[in-house]
Amino acid sequence: MSEELPVYAERVLEVAERIPPGRVMTYGDVAEWLGEGGPRQVGRVMALYGAAVPWWRVVRADGVPLPGSERRALEHYRSEGTPLRETPSGEPRLAMRRARWDGRGAGDGGDEAHI
């Protein structure tokens, strides 16, 4: 990470990099995992600095792909096998119950359980 990044931004981006392929965390999940900030602060960091990390893995809580980047995000979700569902109108959404990751992995002493 760059020395020029604010400390909070660096921490948010580190969490984004830890999210395994095929899984997601909401903006609020990231803030909760860090123990500081909130969804808006995480969203701001991702908007300003997130291009260098797997930005598509940090999402809105409603499972709607990032407006303006839906096509690219969906390409990533499909290639990674991220659980998706269709709305009644046929639009793809993240299947949040199955896709959500709680921040624990094999190296953390936990399993990759859902939130």
pLDDT digits (tens, 9 = 90+) for 50-72: 999 999 999 999 999 888 999 99
pLDDT digits (tens, 9 = 90+) for 18-60: 999 999 999 999 999 999 999 999 999 999 999 999 999 999 9
- Bigger pLDDT: 106 vs 69: 69
Q: How far apart are CA 115 and CA 112, in angstroms?
A: 9
Q: How far apart are CA 71 and CA 62, in angstroms?
A: 17
Which pair of structure tokens corresponds to residue 3? 């020395």
Tell me the pTM: 0.85
Tell me, what DSSP letter sits at residue 65?
P
Ordered alpha helix ranges (H), 62-112: 70-80, 96-99
